Structure 1
Amino acid sequence: MSGGFTIEGVSKTFDGSSSPVRALDDIRLTVEEGEFVVLLGRSGCGKSTLLEIMAGLQNPTSGTVHLGQELITEPNEKIGMVFQDPSLYPWRTVARNVELGLELAGVPKARRKTVAQEHLELVGLPDAGPKYPRQLSGGMRQRVGIARALATEPDVLLMDEPFGAVDHLTRLQLQRDLLRLWSEHKRTVVFVTHDVAEAIVLADRIVLLTPGPGRIARTWTVDGERPRELDSPELMALRDEIYSHIGGEPAEESVQSTVDSQVGL
């Protein structure tokens, strides 16, 4: 394992139509090895930009990101990435989509097939390999995206609102699946969401970013064993405290997540 992330003074400015746009301002954050950190905030606060900088997909205007002792300036085999859209190649079977990173790394074909099948089983899709993405539901395609990211055995997993495009019940199931995988393998996970309930369900630590430019407004450590009951007094109080810092009321889907937790969905 390569340790966690150390983010020192990361700022990012983009060229705007009339003037530069500062997306991130002096982000300083440490993510410990094996920790599950959620980046939370409203749309436009720079969550995805920060995640892409951590993945080496963008470079900061200033500041540095290290994974362990290694400076991150480009994509790295130790870092797996899962996006909201899994972007599966429609002309490749599910198994061959999972094999993609291994193929690019020069892993022999027989080994690629074995690893792909192992990871499809890991995400609950043991029979999906011969199918094509169009034959799968949205939730199943997202599982394939997770399997593809895990197949190269990265030390860390970066996830950019990966469950945002699926229906509510599928989202809850994917949250449970992700927590199971994380508890079994203890990879470092940094997860972007704008949903407070999702953050509370998943995180060891929640990092709230301010809107435009993104700065760290507050962090919370989330106590309690998983799976968590969102109707507990402690977690309801945490939810309300987070919303008070965001400046809004609990979203409908977050309230529904609380109800679902009570009935065991």
Structure 2
Amino acid sequence: MATFEVRGLGKQFPTNPPVYALDGIDLTIEEGEFVVLLGPSGCGKSTLLEILAGLQDKTQGEVLFEGKPVQGTDDRIGVVFQDASLYPWRTVQRNVEIGLEFRGVAKGERREAAGKYLTQVGLAGFERKYPHQLSGGMRQRAGIARALATEPDVLLMDEPFGAVDHLTRIQLQRDLLALWETHRRTVVFVTHDVGEAVYLADRVLLLSPRPGRVFREFVIDEPRPRRRGDISLLARESEIYEALTRIEEQADAEEVSP
């Protein structure tokens, strides 16, 4: 069974005039896949991710999670945003525990789970630190640990590495792939970075400018582990850049047409 099935998805915001964010989105995401949503700013990547997460309602179409309609949030889906959004008054450990706390999990079990996932993301020893005592990359690791602590089947990630420096971003990408290859959770990852998309993904779905549509799908079947700078990966990047150029040319033509 597919993790997500999306058919004829549309999203309209009731502004004046209305904003059509997504139109006619059809896609299927299989269990254990690493799928990247890529496209220019404003194409609806984050909106689509939030609809999959049950954080936004669709305007039209059908969205199924494991064969059932998405209706609000689901404990089996973890979400990681660009801003880790840690509570500043809680320690790192207590931030990671928060989802389990909401579920009523016992204190000792919460502590054990938090320790396990903080170790997995490289934050062992920082349990009693507060968010302001961490670097941006460390805060993002804590956000990932918090999402993992509830042991979701799916991770939805909205540009989670966009706010960190380049070297930290590269390391976080490696760490994420190591976690994914260990547990093979389904991952849907939003980015506007072509190199990041090609390095991480099994498939890249390229969205067109608003209203967002799936302009083209790229299957990234280069073997793992992948090496940055590999000729085959650079060729895939070039292919995607060419498609992005066509999207821009098409959008410019539509703007000038009567």
- TM-score (norm. length: structure 1): 0.91
> Where does residue 238 of structure 1 map in the other structure?
236
> Where does residue 95 of structure 2 map in the other structure?
97
Deviations 1:2-41 (A, max 9, x none): 851111111000122x311100001010000000000000
Equivalent residue letter for 1:87: S
What RMSD over aligned residues (CA atoms) do the two structures have, in Å? 1.1
> Where does residue 219 of structure 2 map in the other structure?
221
Preserved contact between residue 199 and residue 233 of structure 2 (Cα < 8 Å): no
Equivalent residue letter for 1:173: Q
Higher mean displacement: 187-196 or 239-248:
239-248
Equivalent residue letter for 1:13: Q
Deviations 1:50-72 (A, max 9, x none): 00000000010011211112211
> Where does residue 245 of structure 2 map in the other structure?
247
Preserved contact between residue 2 and residue 28 of structure 2 (Cα < 8 Å): no
Q: Secondary structure at the match of 1:118?
A: helix
- Distance across 2 between alignment mates of 1:31 and 1:6: 7
Preserved contact between residue 199 and residue 206 of structure 1 (Cα < 8 Å): yes
- Distance across 1 between alignment mates of 2:78 and 2:153: 8
Preserved contact between residue 222 and residue 233 of structure 2 (Cα < 8 Å): no
Match of 1:210 among 208, 211, 215: 208
Deviations 1:225-248 (A, max 9, x none): 223224333222211110111118
Preserved contact between residue 222 and residue 232 of structure 2 (Cα < 8 Å): no
Matches within 5 A, 1:21-32: 21-32=19-30
Higher mean displacement: 200-209 or 58-67:
58-67
Task: Name structure 1 gaps, 5 residues minimum.
Answer: 249-265
> Where does residue 134 of structure 2 map in the other structure?
136
Identity %, equivalent residues: 61
Q: Secondary structure at the match of 2:178?
A: helix
> Where does residue 4 of structure 1 map in the other structure?
3
Preserved contact between residue 201 and residue 227 of structure 1 (Cα < 8 Å): no
Higher mean displacement: 67-76 or 80-89:
67-76
- Distance across 2 between alignment mates of 1:233 and 1:99: 43
Equivalent residue letter for 2:9: V
The alpha carbon displacement at 1:183 in A equals 0.1
Preserved contact between residue 115 and residue 151 of structure 1 (Cα < 8 Å): yes
- Distance across 2 between alignment mates of 1:230 and 1:26: 34
- Distance across 2 between alignment mates of 1:29 and 1:223: 18
Preserved contact between residue 45 and residue 212 of structure 1 (Cα < 8 Å): yes
Tell me, yes or no, if structure 1 residue 114 matches structure 2 residue 124. no
Q: Secondary structure at the match of 2:100?
A: helix
Deviations 1:150-192 (A, max 9, x none): 0001000000000000000000000000000000000000000
> Where does residue 87 of structure 1 map in the other structure?
85
Higher mean displacement: 158-167 or 62-71:
62-71
Match of 1:62 among 60, 63, 79: 60
Match of 2:17 among 8, 19, 40: 19
Match of 2:122 among 116, 121, 124: 124
- Distance across 2 between alignment mates of 1:89 and 1:233: 43
Higher mean displacement: 18-27 or 39-48:
18-27
- Distance across 1 between alignment mates of 2:80 and 2:231: 33
Q: Secondary structure at the match of 1:176?
A: helix
- Distance across 2 between alignment mates of 1:23 and 1:147: 31
> Where does residue 192 of structure 2 map in the other structure?
194
Q: Secondary structure at the match of 2:11?
A: strand
The alpha carbon displacement at 1:145 in A equals 0.2
Q: Secondary structure at the match of 2:23?
A: strand
- Distance across 1 between alignment mates of 2:117 and 2:229: 34
The alpha carbon displacement at 1:82 in A equals 0.1
Deviations 1:210-259 (A, max 9, x none): 011000000011012223224333222211110111118xxxxxxxxxxx
